[in-house]
Amino acid sequence: MRVPPGFRAVAGDSGSLTAALLGPGGAYLGYLNATPIQGGERLQGWPAFRLRHLRDDDARTARLDAATQLVRTHAAPRSCVIDDYVTKVGNNHFHEVACLVMYHRAGSVIVAATPSGDPAHVFAMLERAVAGYPVT
């Protein structure tokens, strides 16, 4: 996974790669994570799956901004969603791009997020990191 400048490794779920850009006081200004698929993810229907997962996990609201399904890039088919959500804890607003990427009979989910308004102006860098995943 290509990590944008200024991001550093942070703790994440077991088996995942996670990096973040942290601001004063440790606030997340950018977040990038790649995690192996857990079993329920499918290229077809990915946008609805992702929004449902956000709402079930830690989002009070999740709104779809854009989506694409079954696109082939870097010889790896993917489906992606761009969304905005508000966390249940802390009422934090985030903007994210999340893609399900299938390759070599396996797959992973790559997620990149910034606080809404992108105060550190890193969302474009994160979109490039997601678009280039997996690194070929």
* Cα gap 1→126, rounded to integer Å: 11
pLDDT tens for 72-114 read 877 689 999 999 999 999 999 999 999 999 987 789 999 999 9
In whole angstroms, what is the distance from residue 19 CA to residue 112 CA? 10
pLDDT at residue number 89:
93
Rounded CA separation 58/7 (Å): 23
116, 93 contact by CB (below 8 A): yes
Average pLDDT, rounded, for the chain: 92
Asked whether the predicted pLDDT for residue 136 surpasses 60, the reply is no
Decide if 87 contacts 94 (C-beta within 8 A). yes
| pLDDT above 90: percentage of residues in the chain | 75
Residue 35 exposed, middle or buried by CB count within 10 Å (0-12, 13-18, 19+):
middle
Q: What structural domains and CATH numbers belong to the chain? A: 8-131 (3.40.1000.10)
